[in-house]
């Protein structure tokens, strides 16, 4: 194996990193003192850092390495494509073989009449495309006033100005003048944190009906689309009550507003079907894709669009596109990734083996004194940490204090598990085996135990 083992000592690398590299979503000053963890290689579900630690990556990078690390086939395809045609664009009536093959494959995998793909370099770019596409769609249908896109608080749709505006992350909106005009946010279906005394079923209906109220308040002639993740990912793996999505679909149908399913995490097997929309039983007009499309081996994203929307948009020139829309190397890598997902029946492995095995063990974590609810759909799961399971209380300490302690314990125990506030989340590679799931759970339990001890010792085990 051609591993890079002759790199500089960790401390030197960390100093250079701190001096010149600005990290995304990171307090860079704080990191400079501590030093970043340096990942040097990976294979299967396991990362190796510059100190030689073997870390189980229960987040699949950033929710993306669906087929696992270290698949030579993707490296070979990338090298071959770079030699043959490293770059050509798809503007101005040109195309190339990898993008044609990939678009055809995605159309085949996507449900219903979702048969057309507009490519982008990332999920953020794809959602920016969606903003312009749905507004342009209604303009071409003679209804230019339909420009408002309804989204949800605590949604994540990307980090560009457009996609960050679609998202409902208040910490993002506080910086840089977001959101852009004509984006409206309703409440999320997060029963654990916001459901009060309501049953999950009633709460799911209530939160879905906020969409109807918003349409009526804003005016049917003003609303273009509703966008949502089938299961909120970065918001904390919030699984909506079963009543939620059927009601949302009913409302979208009734008022004829476009439904955009942001499948950037849920797509390509994560929920146990090819798309989260299938798991949730919804019929979107547009799907946003990225992450698992290439298993993160090359940057690529896109919008899968229905026959109807594509026909309307295609009627004249859509003044939109990215230099790297349908990049040949990314397209070839994505196509190879889809071949592996399909031929190795990895979605079937999730449904029949990995997800049921993980679900049992994950839900059993609720016997731990710190853990309130455990939620899981396919291979994305979350647990809520709480000082009082009965009242579902939040900690008195600022949100995220305890979650951060838990995440640090996990990292020290060679497990990557993320925290969102005081929820711990996982999204492992889909190829994870039952034995590796045992290791994941073992390390999670050990970390929860250590976190519990620390939280009690520091006087943090108190309710708000």
Ligand X SMILES: *Cc1c(COP(=O)(O)O)cnc(C)c1O
Binding site for ligand X (CB under 6 A): 122-124, 127, 156-158, 229, 233-234, 262, 264-265, 290-291, 301
Q: Nearest approach, Cβ of 381 to ligand X (angstroms)?
A: 15
Other beta carbons within 10 angstroms of residue 426's beta carbon come to 27
Q: Nearest approach, Cβ of 124 to ligand X (angstroms)?
A: 3
Q: Nearest approach, Cβ of 376 to ligand X (angstroms)?
A: 17
The residue (of 265 and 341) whose beta carbon lies closer to ligand X is: 265
> Which among 90, 82, 54 has a CA at the least distance from the CA of 324?
90
Contact 43, 69 (CB under 8 A): yes
3 state DSSP class of 69? strand
Q: Nearest approach, Cβ of 269 to ligand X (angstroms)?
A: 15
The residue (of 133 and 234) whose beta carbon lies closer to ligand X is: 234
DSSP 76-92: HHHHHHHHH-S-----T
3 state DSSP class of 223? strand
> Which among 349, 377, 346, 348 has a CA at the least distance from the CA of 363?
377
Q: Which two tokens stand for residue 330?
A: 């990314």
Q: Which two tokens stand for residue 225?
A: 């689309």
Q: Nearest approach, Cβ of 334 to ligand X (angstroms)?
A: 13
The residue (of 230 and 387) whose beta carbon lies closer to ligand X is: 230
> Which among 72, 206, 223 has a CA at the least distance from the CA of 135?
223
> Which among 412, 300, 456, 432 has a CA at the least distance from the CA of 362?
432
DSSP code of residue 231? S
3 state DSSP class of 40? strand
Contact 129, 305 (CB under 8 A): no
Q: Nearest approach, Cβ of 460 to ligand X (angstroms)?
A: 30
Q: Nearest approach, Cβ of 55 to ligand X (angstroms)?
A: 21
The residue sitting closest to ligand X, measured at its beta carbon, is 123
The residue (of 60 and 332) whose beta carbon lies closer to ligand X is: 60
The residue (of 128 and 373) whose beta carbon lies closer to ligand X is: 128
The helix (run of H) or strand (run of E) holding residue 12 is helix 10-20
The residue (of 284 and 301) whose beta carbon lies closer to ligand X is: 301
Query: What's the Cα-to-Cα distance from 219 to each of 33, 224, 363, rounded to whole Å?
Result: 52, 11, 43
Other beta carbons within 10 angstroms of residue 171's beta carbon come to 7
The residue (of 44 and 302) whose beta carbon lies closer to ligand X is: 302
Q: Nearest approach, Cβ of 232 to ligand X (angstroms)?
A: 8
The residue (of 45 and 261) whose beta carbon lies closer to ligand X is: 261
């Amino acid at each position: 194996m051609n591993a890079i083992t002759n790199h500089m000592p960790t401390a030197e690398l960390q100093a250079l990193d701190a001096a010149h590299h600005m990290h995304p979503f990171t307090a860079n000053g704080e990191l400079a003192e501590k030093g970043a963890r340096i990942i040097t290689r990976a294979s299967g579900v396991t990362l190796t850092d510059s100190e030689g630690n073997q870390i189980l990556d229960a987040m699949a990078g950033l929710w993306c390495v669906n087929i696992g690390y270290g698949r030579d086939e993707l490296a070979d395809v990338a090298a071959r494509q770079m030699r043959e045609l490293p770059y050509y664009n798809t503007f101005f009536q040109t195309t190339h073989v990898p993008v044609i093959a990939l678009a055809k494959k995605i159309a085949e995998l996507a449900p219903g009449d979702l048969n057309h793909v507009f490519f982008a370099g990332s999920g953020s770019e794809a959602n920016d495309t969606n903003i312009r596409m749905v507004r342009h769609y209604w303009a071409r249908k003679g209804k230019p006033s339909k420009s408002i896109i309804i989204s949800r608080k605590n949604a994540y749709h990307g980090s560009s100005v457009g996609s960050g505006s679609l998202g409902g992350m208040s910490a993002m909106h506080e910086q840089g003048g977001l959101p852009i005009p004509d984006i409206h946010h309703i409440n999320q279906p997060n029963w654990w944190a916001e459901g009060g005394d309501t049953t999950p079923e009633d709460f799911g209906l209530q939160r879905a009906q906020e969409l109807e109220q918003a349409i009526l308040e804003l005016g049917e002639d003003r609303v273009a689309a509703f966008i949502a993740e089938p299961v909120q990912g970065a918001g904390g793996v919030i699984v909506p009550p079963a009543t939620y999505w059927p009601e949302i679909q009913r409302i979208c149908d009734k008022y004829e507003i476009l439904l955009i399913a942001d499948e950037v995490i849920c797509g390509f097997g994560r929920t146990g079907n090819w798309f989260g929309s299938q798991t949730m039983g919804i019929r979107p007009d547009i799907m946003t894709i990225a992450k698992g499309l290439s298993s993160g081996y090359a940057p690529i994203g896109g919008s899968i669009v229905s026959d109807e929307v594509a026909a309307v948009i295609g009627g004249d020139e859509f003044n939109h596109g990215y230099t790297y829309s349908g990049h040949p190397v990314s397209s070839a890598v994505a196509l190879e990734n889809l071949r592996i997902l399909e031929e190795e029946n990895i979605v079937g492995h999730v449904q029949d083996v990995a997800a049921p095995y993980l679900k049992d063990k994950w839900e059993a974590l609720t016997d731990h004194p710190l853990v309130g609810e455990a939620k899981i759909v396919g291979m994305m799961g979350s647990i809520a940490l709480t000082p009082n399971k009965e009242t579902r209380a939040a900690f008195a300490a600022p949100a995220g204090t305890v979650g951060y302690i838990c995440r640090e314990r996990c990292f020290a125990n060679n497990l990557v598990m993320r925290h969102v506030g005081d929820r711990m989340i996982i999204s492992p590679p889909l190829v994870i085996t039952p034995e590796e799931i045992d290791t994941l759970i073992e390390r999670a339990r050990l970390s929860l135990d250590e976190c519990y001890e620390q939280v009690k010792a520091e006087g943090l085990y108190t309710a708000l």
